[in-house]
Structures are given as structure tokens and as C-alpha cells.
Amino acid sequence: MAVYNTASDSANTAVRAFLTKVGEYYLGHSFNTGSGKGKALWLQIRDQDFDSSCAYCGEKHDKLQIEHVLMFNRTEYGLHHPGNTIPCCKACNKRERLEDKTYCNWVQHLERVCEARGEINSFAKRKNMILANFKKHNYPELNTNEKHAIGVIANSLYENIKTESDKSLELYKRLDEAFVR
Ligand SMILES: [Zn+2]
């Protein structure tokens, strides 16, 4: 939980809630990894399909985090969907930026992790496990129009929430002047 909450935090949360809804729309049911059916599904991915190991470095961990392979934000529009979720250790759950300041995509990230560990021989195997997870859970293959539509809505949501959040202070100032003083 963030200690210092900014307007961008709320805007990003709104975008993630939207990407969760779209993921669940394709899945046909909810995917709450914290309880019930969603949790059971997540634990199956983490402990059986990925053998309680980080999908990037291959190390076993007892505190694996949920990683969205296609990033869960308004640049990659990854959906919250079992096909897009893999276990990841804390160290690997941080993507580097490329020269143009954008983040590495998951293939570039995996390659960097394997390279840094001197395990480039494991790259293809780990990549195939992640691809198999997309396939096993029928992750939707969105066409260009669908991706574009998700992008437009996500960006509009982001801008609207950010603007509303900034406007709230102005509103408070006006009310404060009108009623309190
Ligand atoms: Zn790792």
C-alpha cells in the first residue's frame, strides 16, 4: 500500500480495475486471486505449472508474487487473466527501462534475467513455459482494433480520474471559502 497517494496512483488503479474487468469478461468469471476459485486457479499456476518457482530466474521461493506478463498498465494493456499471470520473485519483479525510457517487454526482461545469471541456455525453455501458460488458459488474442479500443478507454479513464482528483482540491477550496469562513 502506498504511503503517499497521488492523483496518478488513483488513475493507475482505475486503469488496472478496467483491465481486470476486461480480463474477466474474456474469462467468463471473476479472477480474484485472493479467495475461492480464483485463488485455487492462481495456486495451480504457481505451484503446479511453475513448480513454486520464479518464471524468470527459475528459483524456488516461498514468497512468489503475481506478475502480469503483458504489463498491467496503459502501455501494454495486459489483462488480469490466468493466462497473463505467472509467479515471480521480488528481484525479478522489476523491469529495466530501455534506451528510449520505455520498459522492457517480457521477452526482453526474461532474456536479461537469464543472461545476468549466465543461464541463457534456459531462456527458450522458460519462454515456452510462459507461452504455454497463455495458451492453456486461452488468453484472448486481441486484434489491432481491440487493442486500440482498450488503449483509448484506458487512457481516457486515466486522464479523467487524474483531472477529477486535481479538481477535488479546487472544489474543497471554494467550499471552504463559502461555508467555513
Ligand atoms: Zn526470479
Q: pLDDT of 92-136, one tens digit each? A: 999 989 888 889 999 999 999 999 999 999 999 999 999 999 999
**89 CA to centre of ligand 1 in angstroms:** 4
Q: Is residue 174 part of a domain?
A: no
Q: Is residue 88 part of a domain?
A: yes
Q: Is residue 148 part of a domain?
A: no
Torsion sign (Cα): 154, 148, 106, 67: positive
- For 112-156, the three-class secondary structure string (H helix, E strand, C coil) is HHHHHCCCHHHHHHHHHHHHHHHHHCCCCCCCHHHHHHHHHHHHH
Q: Is residue 116 part of a domain?
A: yes
**109 CA to centre of ligand 1 in angstroms:** 11
pTM above 0.85? yes
Bridge partner list, 86: 67
**41 CA to centre of ligand 1 in angstroms:** 21
Q: Is residue 149 part of a domain?
A: no
Instruction: Give the DSSP H/E element, type plus range, for residue 68.
Output: strand 65-68
Query: pLDDT exceeding 90 applies to what percent of the chain?
Result: 80
Burial class of 140 by CB neighbour count within 10 A (0 to 12, 13 to 18, 19+): middle
pLDDT at 29: 94
Distance from C-alpha of 78 to C-alpha of 24, rounded to nearest angstrom: 12
C-alpha cell at 134: 497463455
**60 CA to centre of ligand 1 in angstroms:** 8
Question: Domain residues for 103?
Answer: 28-141
Q: Which amino acid is at 79?
A: L
**64 CA to centre of ligand 1 in angstroms:** 9
Q: Is residue 5 part of a domain?
A: no
What is the number of structural domains in the chain? 1
Question: Average pLDDT of 29-47?
Answer: 96
Q: Is residue 10 part of a domain?
A: no
Q: Which amino acid is at 180?
A: V
- Phi, psi torsion values for 97, nearest 5 degrees: -95, 150
Q: Is residue 6 part of a domain?
A: no
